[in-house]
A = this chain, B = another copy of it.
């Protein structure tokens, strides 16, 4: 751990036709985090028997919906790495493309858990921000929208200030490049609808502020109502402490 404040680790056990295997992982990283698998390190190990080709493909899939969907500060490190090792000690029927579903699901769960832990432990962070985009025209648009919103300094500072500022969320969506039809857009903050079909809805702002200030996470959900594309991204608020850490830390 460097500027990390806590260890990040997880393990998932899977029973596959009687043979039980485990996937366990550890990760580190709290700054320079905007992976494009590139100072984040993650090691995952499993005792499952898995074909080498499927192992690589499954890891790529898991990374795309986890580590490649987090951002702490928008700065990609030159040395982010995720390693996955498998030693086949579980004695299961070898896993390959034709029977890899349970393995993929467990691996995704491990990667998403670790990625969220990294985002939550961002330098100076007080809150995990989860941005869920649904109903996008396509998945690429959903990913771009989720990642742009979670990376926006103005969204991050608003969340730091416990401000349910849907304007900043929608402005980031607008510049993301994803297809948006304003009159179809619904926005939810912690499951409270703050925008319906492009128009702000009345909601208890002071109540929402209180709820945000009492929580170490916030869920921002956008329904674009255009198609089936969906994606989730994770990040954290931007605090004075982030600036303090990175302006006084010299290498």
Give the interface of A toward B (CB within 8 A): 31-32, 36, 38, 73-78, 151-154, 157-158, 160-161, 163, 165, 167-168, 171-172, 174-175, 237-240, 242-244, 246-251
Contacts and interface: CB of A to CB of B under 8 A. Distances in A.
Contacts of A151: 74
A32 B154 contact: yes
A32 B172 CA distance: 10
A247 B158 contact: yes
Contact of A75 (B154, B243, B244): B154
B247 A76 contact: no
Given A73-B154, A75-B172, A240 B246 contact: no
A161 B78 contact: no
B76 A158 contact: no
B161 A250 contact: yes
Contacts of A31: 154
15 contacts: A36-B175, A73-B153, A73-B154, A74-B152, A74-B153, A75-B172, A153-B153, A154-B246, A157-B242, A157-B246, A160-B247, A161-B248, A165-B251, A167-B251, A239-B247
A238 B238 CA distance: 11
Contacts of A76: 171, 175
Most chain B beta-carbon neighbours within 10 Å: one of A36, A157, A171, A174: A157
Contacts of A157: 242-243, 246-247
A133 to B, nearest CB: 18
B74 A163 contact: no
Nearest to A168: B75
A154 B174 CA distance: 25
B32 A75 contact: no
A29 to B, nearest CB: 14
